[in-house]
Structure 1
């Protein structure tokens, strides 16, 4: 199964790092075209040139987009339709790791993701997809599955993204929308989010915690995460949560509280 071939995708934060790698990997797997929705104008133009050089003209457009502004986000959808006539896949990838500006961080990581999901559900993927199914991939993090002491607010936004994905990934939503929701949780990845991370937290105590973590981190390439994205899109069931780390891609089974209660009563189950 190739759920990517012949489709049109919109990627937030698509101008650099993992987002740009997502765009290239999707195109290598037969994507018809991609919109790079990116707040940094220089990154956006550089990314567009890279894609044009590798894949030729008319495979991508750049739209300057602040995902915390719903109007700008919607303009990215509208521009995609004007250029490519359809939109099938939304990758909510834009994010920052900066607890020092936590209000802005929540706006980008969580509110921006909500805006993208609502725009997809209320109008764009539900009406303008190529085939019977649209796909939304919300990019979270392994910190959304753990207790990340050094960046608690960042971790909170990623826990929220996972919860959001699982809620919209219920069958009752899919039956009316035919939009499949997936969460992808990259492990520690060599991206701008990792650079100078000691300067982007709540203060000296959190910096000390992060310094203790750094020597033990295994860092993967963004290309590894991009390859994982293809697997997740092709194989992921609606509402599923996936991890990409250490050159592995695997699904996480998150039990319900009822299942946990049963296991506590009978640990042998």
Structure 2
């Protein structure tokens, strides 16, 4: 079990939905520092988070996940606040298949870049003490998404990257566990106006795909956040979890090829 008490946590993502709820739950775990990296500052949310636990230092750092220099600067600022990072949560997500560059850039490239920039401050062989990297993918990182193939490709990439980095050979040397959580459909702004976000939205047959998504049972951001914290505490490197309608289930991907 991973003890969050006294840990330095960096959360990368928006202040709304799952992001806010997981940050709120972490504040109750007696962590030491919470650093929120987001594109836009939200003073109201920052104040609400700080009020959850005044003994935890909450810091906001602006970051643009489409800009490498912005990410470098953000990590430099973060490590000016804390000497090492114990937990990195990559929670930024964009569903916008019409803009392939942003969809892949934020969901996949930004996440991988952030991991590599933070690793020296997590790796026990460098400046870190070990810890956890948690990446948030999607159920569409496990299954096809016919209406959103670009988003599915990016989220499949998140799962593949996390499983690869979560290999025991990495873990035994770095002390950093990699975990990916794949939420099912969750009540949030992301799933509003789905047809407008699909590159195939002008095709009449896409209506049926969108309708299937709209009819699916949704979960609350609080339910996802609760299961994210649970997965952190389990601390199983390379684990892939499906978080759906309040349940956390480990997924066991099939390996078709062995060296």
Q: TM-score normalised to the size of structure 1?
A: 0.88
Q: Aligned pair in 2 of structure 1 residues 235, 58: CA closer, same or farther (>3 Å)?
A: closer
Distance 1:14 1:146 in 2: 24
Q: What's the TM-score once normalised by structure 2's chain length?
A: 0.91
Query: How many Å separate the matches in 2 of 1:222 and 1:17?
Result: 5
**DSSP 3-state at the match of 2:147:** coil
Equivalent in the alignment of 2:186: 189
User: How many Å separate the matches in 2 of 1:252 and 1:117?
Assistant: 23
- Structure 1 segments of 4 or more deviating over 4 A? none
Taking the TM superposition and a 5 Å limit, the aligned residue runs for 1:80-99 are 80-99=78-97
Retained in 2: the 8 A contact 1:105–1:154? yes
Which position in structure 2 is the counterpart of 1:56?
A: 54
Any idea what SS the aligned residue of 2:99 has?
helix
Matched, 1:32 2:63: no
Give the structure 1 partner of residue 118 of structure 2.
120
2:250 is the counterpart of 1:251: yes
Aligned to 2:140: 143
The structural deviation recorded for 1:215 is 4.4
How many residues are matched? 254
Partners of 2:77 and 2:146 lie apart in 1 by 40
SS in 2 for 1:66: coil
Which residues in structure 2 correspond to 1:41-80 (within 5 Å)?
Answer: 41=41, 44-56=42-54, 59-80=57-78
Structure 1 residue 207: deviation in Å? 4.3
* CA deviation map 1:87-132 (0-9, x unaligned): 11111111100101111110000000110121122x2212444xx4
Task: Report what 2:168 is aligned to.
Answer: 171
What is the CA–CA distance in structure 2 between the aligned matches of 1:8 and 1:68, rounded to whole Å? 25
- Measure the CA separation in 1 of the matches of 2:71 and 2:16: 18
Q: Which runs of 5+ in 1 are unaligned?
A: 260-269
1-structure distance, mates of 2:111, 2:149: 19
Q: Which ranges in structure 2 are unaligned for 5 or more consecutive residues?
A: none
Matched, 1:6 2:6: yes
2:179·2:236 contact (CA, 8 Å) conserved in 1?
A: yes
